[in-house]
Structure 1
Amino acid sequence: MSSNIEFALISAIIANKDFHTANKLQINEGFFASPETREVYRFLRNTYFDSSTHGQVPSAEMVKYHFPSFFFTPTHDTVAILASQLRREKVRTEILKLSQDLGVLAEKDPFEALQSIRAESAKLAALSEAGADLPLSGAHDVLLNRYEAVQTSNGLLGIPYPWQAMNEETQGMQPSQFIILYGRPKSMKSWIAVHEAVHAYVHSRKRVLFYTREMNPLMVAQRVACALTKVDYKSYKNGTLQPEIKQHVFTVLKELIDDEKSLNVQNGQGPCFVITTDRSGANSGGGGGVGWLQSKIRDLKPDIVFVDGMYLMMDDRSRSRSVDWKNMAHISQDLKLTAQDFDIPVVGVTQATRAADKSKGEDLTELAYADAFGQDADAVFRVSKKDVIDENNQKRTELYLTAPGLREGKFDGIIVRGEPATSFDYIKTIIDMEAEDDGKHDSAYGSKGSSSPFKKGDVGPKIPLKTLKTVK
């Protein structure tokens, strides 16, 4: 029976492209008794966490190529049901094995048998369900599985940020994380959110839900279209694109329809990019709060959610919309719980206080409206804008991405280009913000010849949509 469940679970993971559920339910190689299913599951896990194929599940043809003798078992059960049954089988097997060992041990020394019962009961308790309790004595398989996932992915556990330097410290945008982008008005923080969302969609082939109250959805769609096709946003917005570039943009957008249809997007599979808002019709004044957003998540099953203008959301608890600190605290807490309950990263965009104009982003006191944002977030990134004159005496915009708040690690920040839609490319790594403010560029940043451990350039598995090309 256990062997059949093992083959059925792996077959369901491949058929539904759903390793996420098995991983969320803490299924690891130790649950598989068959050497063959154990090897196939390791292959699926390594592919899913590998930095070049992150989040993807190999096809049945690819699995058959690597494991010609693997027997696919068609099933109508979900990955969650099969994973639960596999856990039951594993617990049953371990209990039977323990009872046999205890019988032998009790004949020799009953007190030693009693000690064995106490030790093994903690392991069985940890094995019995994927809950919050994790006795250290029973954590071996869980910790080993996570360590090997990190090792396989070169340190990446979540959806990659567009910049390698950021990934090396954060390990990507991980499941259950609540991440905040903040900055002063017109600091291009919404553009950074769009860039991260498009990167997740194109390079990681993820399902992206982009909720906006900061802007009209059509405006967000325009930005996303330009970011996808790498065309100048100002020219697009003003209707002054060259004819061939205009044709390219709308050809790409039209072909995305066929691309998503072929990937069964409507059934919760395959990459998609959905922009949503509760500002419509009679609901424009009231609208929904985090509960409304959660209903969208249930329907669309996204891999990542962006909330642009989270400070404009309704507080579900008071049924009011205001910037009162209590309302903001409720929204922050509910977004944090949303990330945890759905096991996906949630990226919120909010404002900085006026004090941020004179500070360097050393701490979270710049976050506007409520301290709860900084308390609840797993990672907080500050976006600030600066116009500079380059070596060709041309004016350009640079964006400083710093991290005044990380739950784990320390990240001084990076500088990227600030060219809407066409380039948010990495420029340099910040080493000392104060030195930069004094004009000491070489000491403030890493450079091409510096000894910074960070790598230069953008990052992302090179598996773009077949229709997406860069227009120079």
Structure 2
Amino acid sequence: REELDAVGGSSYLAELTNYVPTASHAASYAEIVAQAAVRRRLIKAGGDITELAFNEELTVPQLLGQSEAELFSVSDASLKQDLSSMEDILNDSFERLDELYKNKGAIRGIRTGYRDLDNKTAGLQRSDLIILAARPAMGKTTFVTNLAYNIATIEKKSVLFFSLEMSKEQLVDRMLADAAGVDSWNIRTGNLSDEDFAKLADAMGEMAEAPIFIDDTPGVSVLEMRTKARRAAHDGELGLIVIDYLQLMQGSGSAKSSANRVQEVSEISRGLKLLARELNVPVIALSQLSRSVESRDPKIPQLADLRESGSIEQDADIVMFLYREAYYNPETERENITDLILAKHRHGPVGTIELYFHPERLRFMSLDRKHGE
């Protein structure tokens, strides 16, 4: 009876049943409990060290030694949770390999809606940092909005989209053009037929159900992004984070020179990789390539073009480039073909994937799907 009163009584316990958490957040709740436990141990250790400091029978070396031991006991208990034995790792590996063996060729990551890309990457892998780089007008934003919409509607996973270049309204208009099959310029100018308007209304109904969350705060920092992403992950399963684009992000300090800006971009790319690992979610960051690409022929992007931008290439698990030959050569027979160049793939093959670009709808499609239409 006394113990029941100590925790708030039967009425309080009955009230708690109204706040039963969902099992999908179990890992997040466990992390909160673990961090609170560390804080409690630190508070206790701080009190013990304070008492030791008032004990004049102890010499300073003894005081420092015992104080260090108190703090080390807290650190040791916390760090042990981050260490895994070879046996535990191999057990997990066997289960994963057994599943892959039983389902040969299965896409084990998050499907993008682009078959050739999924076949090369086995889907987007959790904790990967993926860089999509290109010169302006190649279709970076269009491709990544297509991909994000595919993941939200096909995979039914939440997508967090940080749009630093466009407003959320502009971004949604692009998605609408694709979803409704309506010319994007007509949407922008309002030059719509009754049929177009009906298509847009239907598309809006479908899009409203898509778990896509857009943040168009300009100049957001990695720290701010991390806070918002953790909140989104806490509210539900997060399937993808998109940043458009990396060079518009703010680092921890102001860049007073180009050299400092390179260091700042390196700091940002490392922060994004840590974010991907912490939240166990793929992060796609768009990157603008410099004009040096256009000083050579052919003007196909290369990994060396990223080396001018700090450690982006080193931090990335996957680096992809978009290249449209028709932009530089209007006479080409590949008028609507865009090359998606998989230039770096830390855990798999590289190569080039051809996509069909529908400029009016702002839509990239796999060639097999385009031929099917």
Q: Name the structure 1 match of 2:326.
A: 387
- Partner deviation per Cα, 1:376-416 (whole Å, 9 max, x = no partner): 0000000011229xxxx998422110011111222211111
Q: Name the structure 2 match of 1:38.
A: none
- Following TM superposition, by how much is the alpha carbon of 1:315 offset from its aligned partner in structure 2, in angstroms? 0.1
State TM-score, norm by structure 1.
Answer: 0.55
Distance 1:409 1:208, change over 3 A: same
Distance 1:362 1:419, change over 3 A: closer
- Structure 1 stretches lacking a partner, 5+ long: 1-14, 26-77, 85-127, 260-270, 280-286, 428-455, 459-471
State TM-score, norm by structure 2.
Answer: 0.69
Instruction: Indicate the structure (1 or 2) with the bigger Cα radius of gyration.
Output: 2
* 1:290–1:334 CA contact under 8 A, matched in 2: yes
Asked if residue 336 in structure 1 is aligned to residue 293 in structure 2, the reply is no
Q: Which moved more, 1:368-377 or 1:343-352?
A: 368-377
Q: Name the structure 2 match of 1:225.
A: 176
Residue pairs, 1:58-137, within 5 angstroms: 80=30, 131=82, 133-135=84-86, 137=87
* 2:342–2:351 CA contact under 8 A, matched in 1: yes
> Residues of 1 paired with 2:314 and 2:155: CA distance?
29
- Following TM superposition, by how much is the alpha carbon of 1:230 offset from its aligned partner in structure 2, in angstroms? 3.2
Q: Name the structure 1 match of 2:365.
A: 425
* 2:336–2:358 CA contact under 8 A, matched in 1: yes
Q: Name the structure 2 match of 1:202.
A: 153
Q: Name the structure 2 match of 1:245.
A: 196
Residue pairs, 1:53-452, within 5 angstroms: 80=30, 131=82, 133-135=84-86, 137-151=87-101, 152=103, 154-254=105-205, 256-257=207-208, 259=209, 272-279=211-218, 287-301=219-233, 302-316=238-252, 318-319=253-254, 324-357=261-294, 358=296, 359=298, 361=300, 363-367=302-306, 369-387=308-326, 396-420=335-359, 421=361, 423-427=363-367
- Following TM superposition, by how much is the alpha carbon of 1:238 offset from its aligned partner in structure 2, in angstroms? 2.6
Any idea what SS the aligned residue of 1:205 has?
coil
Any idea what SS the aligned residue of 2:243 has?
strand
* 1:313–1:321 CA contact under 8 A, matched in 2: no
Distance 1:321 1:244, change over 3 A: farther
* 1:328–1:369 CA contact under 8 A, matched in 2: no
Any idea what SS the aligned residue of 2:166 has?
coil
> Residues of 2 paired with 1:320 and 1:222: CA distance?
34
* 2:134–2:287 CA contact under 8 A, matched in 1: yes
Q: Alignment identity in percent?
A: 21
* 2:134–2:140 CA contact under 8 A, matched in 1: yes
- Following TM superposition, by how much is the alpha carbon of 1:183 offset from its aligned partner in structure 2, in angstroms? 0.4
Distance 1:200 1:403, change over 3 A: same
Distance 1:138 1:256, change over 3 A: closer
> Residues of 1 paired with 2:247 and 2:225: CA distance?
14
| Amino acid paired to 2:158 | R
Distance 1:171 1:322, change over 3 A: farther
> Residues of 2 paired with 1:216 and 1:412: CA distance?
33
- Partner deviation per Cα, 1:242-263 (whole Å, 9 max, x = no partner): 2122122123324654x4xxxx
Distance 1:361 1:170, change over 3 A: farther
Residue pairs, 1:456-471, within 5 angstroms: 456-457=368-369
- Partner deviation per Cα, 1:169-209 (whole Å, 9 max, x = no partner): 21111111100000011111111111111111111111111
- Following TM superposition, by how much is the alpha carbon of 1:425 offset from its aligned partner in structure 2, in angstroms? 1.7
Higher helix share: 2
- Partner deviation per Cα, 1:311-348 (whole Å, 9 max, x = no partner): 111002x2559861101101111011111111111100
* 2:129–2:285 CA contact under 8 A, matched in 1: yes
Any idea what SS the aligned residue of 1:196 has?
helix
* 1:210–1:306 CA contact under 8 A, matched in 2: yes
Any idea what SS the aligned residue of 2:159 has?
strand
* 2:307–2:313 CA contact under 8 A, matched in 1: no
> Residues of 1 paired with 2:167 and 2:256: CA distance?
18
Q: Which moved more, 1:188-197 or 1:347-356?
A: 347-356
| Amino acid paired to 1:142 | D
Distance 1:362 1:310, change over 3 A: closer
> Residues of 2 paired with 1:130 and 1:328: CA distance?
32
